[in-house]
């Protein structure tokens, strides 16, 4: 085992390979406050990539309800249970990563799901944390709560799937950090299925090898965001590239939101994999729960989010979500407009920071009719 630096945990961790950070890292930010679990992203991914035989049960993108939803069943509670209670205190994580907790003779702590764990992808949907007592009123955070968690492969910097394959059938691309599973080299050992704590590698019974989210790399190579991002009707996602954590570029919307404003947090950073999907935490959920899922920055992230409308640059970065199918490598505020730029710094989108509003008068003078006509 070698040592690599995990910026999310503020320390070095054990990892079986030496890793050079990619030139730019494929990353995605989700605003959980906007997700309505319409599953358009799920359908977009499935229609594009997982229509084949053996892929029927696969949801490379899925949206589950927290606290009682999971796909596959119990993926997070199972591995958290195996890892044991760890202190989620920053800025340096002193608990165990999954590599630290690897049993003797294993590379990483993991488990293989049962086949039937995949049978109910929508289990727990819309189940709140508990029953609202009679006469209760809404508090903030909500005393009974639920929120939606959309997930894809995190294209981790220190990917568990990659580290566990005895044949090195999984690799991480230098140019964009997308993690891919070589379909000709894989022999279906399922070490990766066992190792990935997010359970985002799937075994195909028809091809007898494993498959995973490919980061829509054909689109990304062409400067276009992923299918799940561009199809999102709620505009809750932005996909782009992160730079190096020690030298963030404040003009890159992803760097700005993740490294500078810290409004978007990684998913279960304690596993140690440095996942590259980041979540703006749901403001109505008790921070005590969120701390386990997103780390110790949740309270500060929620506060930043609730004040985002006061910060033009932050608002501009947020307004770019769903504004264009193209990847914004740079952005800036131009008066009351957010502008996105591609890799060559050509302008690709302009979005007003405030949606233009029009008030329509009750009586339409020109047509001599009340606009509330209901007959």
Partner 1 sequence: MIVRSLVLSAGFLAALVTGAQVAHAQPPITVARVTGVGPIVDPSATLWKDARPVKVPLLPQSVALPHMPDPVVKELTVRAVHNGGWIAFLVEWKDPSVSDRLMVDNFGDQMAIQLPVETTATPPSPMMGNPGGRVNIMQWRAALQYDIDHGARTIKDLYPNAWADVYPDEVLGATDARPYAGALGIENPVSRGVASPVLDQMAEGWGSMTVKPDQHAVGKGVWKDGIWRVVIARPMTSDDRNAPRLAPGMRTSVGFAVWEGGHREVGARKGWSPWIPLVIPAAAPVKAR
Give contact residues for partner 1 (rule: CB under 8 A). 1-2, 16-18, 51-56, 104-107, 112-115, 118, 164, 166-168, 183-184, 186-191, 193, 202-209, 211
> What is the closest distance, in whole angstroms, from the C-beta atom of residue 190 to partner 1 in the complex?
7
Residue 259 has which token pair? 């490294």
> What is the closest distance, in whole angstroms, from the C-beta atom of residue 184 to partner 1 in the complex?
5
Closer of 212 and 313 to partner 1 (Cβ): 212
Query: Torsion over CA of 97, 98, 101 and 106, rounded to 10 degrees?
Result: -150
Residue 26 has which token pair? 């494929």
Residue 291 has which token pair? 């701390």
> What is the closest distance, in whole angstroms, from the C-beta atom of residue 26 to partner 1 in the complex?
21
- Tell which residue, 112, 44, 40, 33, has the closest CA to residue 72: 112
Burial of 333 (0-12, 13-18, 19+ CB in 10 A): middle
| Whole-number Cα distances in Å, 189 to 192, 212, 238 | 8, 14, 34
Query: Torsion over CA of 89, 93, 97 and 103, rounded to 10 degrees?
Result: -90
Distance from C-alpha of 174 to C-alpha of 25, rounded to nearest angstrom: 9
Closer of 22 and 234 to partner 1 (Cβ): 22
> What is the closest distance, in whole angstroms, from the C-beta atom of residue 49 to partner 1 in the complex?
9
Strand 25-31 relative to strand 277-280, pairing:
parallel
Question: If residue 364 lies in a helix (H) or strand (E), which one and from where to where?
Answer: strand 363-364
Closer of 3 and 307 to partner 1 (Cβ): 3
Closer of 186 and 264 to partner 1 (Cβ): 186
> What is the closest distance, in whole angstroms, from the C-beta atom of residue 25 to partner 1 in the complex?
20
> What is the closest distance, in whole angstroms, from the C-beta atom of residue 167 to partner 1 in the complex?
6
Distance from C-alpha of 83 to C-alpha of 98, rounded to nearest angstrom: 7
Closer of 209 and 228 to partner 1 (Cβ): 209
> What is the closest distance, in whole angstroms, from the C-beta atom of residue 166 to partner 1 in the complex?
5
Closer of 93 and 99 to partner 1 (Cβ): 99
Closer of 210 and 328 to partner 1 (Cβ): 210
- Write the secondary structure of 175-223 as one string of H (helix), E (strand) and C (coil): CCCCEEECCCCCCCCCHHHHHCCCCCEEEECCCCEEEECCCCHHHHHCC
> What is the closest distance, in whole angstroms, from the C-beta atom of residue 246 to partner 1 in the complex?
22
- Tell which residue, 277, 168, 267, 278, has the closest CA to residue 213: 277
Closer of 119 and 132 to partner 1 (Cβ): 119
């Amino acid at each position: 085992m070698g040592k690599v630096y995990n910026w999310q945990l503020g320390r070095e961790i054990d990892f079986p390979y030496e890793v050079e950070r990619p030139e730019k890292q494929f990353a995605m930010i989700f605003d959980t406050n906007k997700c309505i679990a319409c599953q358009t992203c799920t359908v977009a991914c499935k229609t594009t990539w997982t229509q084949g035989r053996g892929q029927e049960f696969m949801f490379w993108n899925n949206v589950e309800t927290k606290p009682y939803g999971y796909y596959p069943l119990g993926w997070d509670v199972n591995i958290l249970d195996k890892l044991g209670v760890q202190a989620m205190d920053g800025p340096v994580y002193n608990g165990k990563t999954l590599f630290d907790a690897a049993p003797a003779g294993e590379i990483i702590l993991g488990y293989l799901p049962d086949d039937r764990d995949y049978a109910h992808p929508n289990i727990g949907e819309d189940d709140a944390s508990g029953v609202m007592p009679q006469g209760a009123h809404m508090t903030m955070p909500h005393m009974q709560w639920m929120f939606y968690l959309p997930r894809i492969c995190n294209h981790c910097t220190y990917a568990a799937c990659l580290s566990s394959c005895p044949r090195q059938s999984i690799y991480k691309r230098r140019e964009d950090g997308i993690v891919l599973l070589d379909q000709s080299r894989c022999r279906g050992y399922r070490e990766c299925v066992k190792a990935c704590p997010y359970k985002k590698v799937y075994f195909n019974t028809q091809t007898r090898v494993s498959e995973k989210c490919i980061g829509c790399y054909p689109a990304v190579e062409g400067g276009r965001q992923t299918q799940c991002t561009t199809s999102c009707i709620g505009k809750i996602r932005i996909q782009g590239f992160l730079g190096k954590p020690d030298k963030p570029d404040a003009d890159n919307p992803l760097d700005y939101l993740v490294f500078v404003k810290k409004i978007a947090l990684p998913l279960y950073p304690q596993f140690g994999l440095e996942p590259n999907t980041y979540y703006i935490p749901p403001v109505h959920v008790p921070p005590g729960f969120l701390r386990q899922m997103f780390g110790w920055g949740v309270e500060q992230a929620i506060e930043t989010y609730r004040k985002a409308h006061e910060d033009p640059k932050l608002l501009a970065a947020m307004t770019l979500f769903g504004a264009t199918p193209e990847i914004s490598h740079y952005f800036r505020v131009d008066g009351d407009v957010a502008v996105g730029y591609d890799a060559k710094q050509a302008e690709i989108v302009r979005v007003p920071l405030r949606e233009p509003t029009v008030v329509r008068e009750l009586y339409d003078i020109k047509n001599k009719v009340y606009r509330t006509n209901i007959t």
